[in-house]
Chains A and B, each alone.
Chain A
């Protein structure tokens, strides 16, 4: 079934650890996005990609980095996690239509940094 997958769904780690949040989509979409969201609160765009080898920073300053080596895969990496990184991270993808960029979201990764 075409969908967006995120792993892990929950992660608790200590300060200073390097982590990678995985996002994969089987929807054949070109555009992919990462959002940071505290539960039920505003969605903040932190990274986006319009295709392979294309990545850009979003509205919210983030210490994370992303890569887009394959169309279906858009991992997010934190080199040194801090308690301020505790949040939910949502991955999304979109296939440009004639006029719209409808985004579909993954289930999210809830990150807690101790």
Chain B
């Protein structure tokens, strides 16, 4: 089955700096890679996703890159703000699979004002 590894487990940055979270996956058939943000006490919320036919996707201050050959994908947050502080989860899935998302173990991002 699919295995997703996520690094780092914790990340502390100064406000305004960039943050990068990296994930690797094992199943080369995986073709969908979402990222979820979970604030303290709240539900995970989808913030951005990417499909295997795209190498990069941006949405304002966040971007995701995908390297299918190396089987890794990354979340990039620029100009970080205190409200970006949360736990971020990457995930992977493949079309027609009965098992949808396999999640990474999460990264706790702390943005210091």
Inter-chain CA distance A59–B87, complex, in Å, is 21
Q: Nearest Cβ in chain A — how far from B2, in angstroms?
A: 10
Question: Is the CB–CB distance between B44 and A102 below 8 Å?
Answer: no
Residue-wise, chain B 71-106 has the 8 Å CB interface mask toward A (1 for contact) of: 000000000000000010100010100111101111
- B1-59 CB contacts (< 8 Å) to partner A: 1, 31-32, 34, 36, 38, 40-46, 49, 51
Question: Is the CB–CB distance between B43 and A42 below 8 Å?
Answer: no
Q: Nearest Cβ in chain B — how far from A66, in angstroms?
A: 16
Chain A residues positioned under 8 Å from B46 (CB to CB): 102-104
Inter-chain CA distance A101–B30, complex, in Å, is 12
Cβ-neighbour of A100 out of B32, B42, B104, B106 (below 8 A):
B32
Q: At the interface, yes or no: A41 with Cβ under 8 Å from chain B?
A: yes
Question: Is the CB–CB distance between B43 and A107 below 8 Å?
Answer: yes
Inter-chain CA distance A59–B3, complex, in Å, is 11
Interface size of B in residues (CB-CB distance below 8 Å): 28
Question: Is the CB–CB distance between B49 and A56 below 8 Å?
Answer: no
Inter-chain CA distance A94–B100, complex, in Å, is 9
Q: Nearest Cβ in chain A — how far from B98, in angstroms?
A: 7
Q: Nearest Cβ in chain B — how far from A41, in angstroms?
A: 7
Chain A residues positioned under 8 Å from B41 (CB to CB): 39
Question: Is the CB–CB distance between B98 and A101 below 8 Å?
Answer: no
Residue-wise, chain A 50-75 has the 8 Å CB interface mask toward B (1 for contact) of: 10000010110000000000000000
27 CB-based A-B contacts, threshold 8 Å: A31-B100, A33-B100, A39-B41, A40-B38, A40-B87, A40-B108, A41-B105, A41-B106, A42-B104, A42-B105, A43-B44, A43-B106, A45-B99, A45-B101, A48-B99, A48-B100, A59-B1, A100-B51, A100-B93, A101-B93, A103-B34, A103-B100, A105-B36, A105-B44, A105-B45, A106-B43, A107-B43
Known interface pairs A40-B40, A41-B105, A100-B49; 10 further A-B residue pairs with C-beta atoms within 8 A, sorted by A's residue number: A39-B41, A43-B103, A48-B100, A58-B99, A90-B44, A100-B32, A100-B34, A100-B51, A105-B36, A105-B45
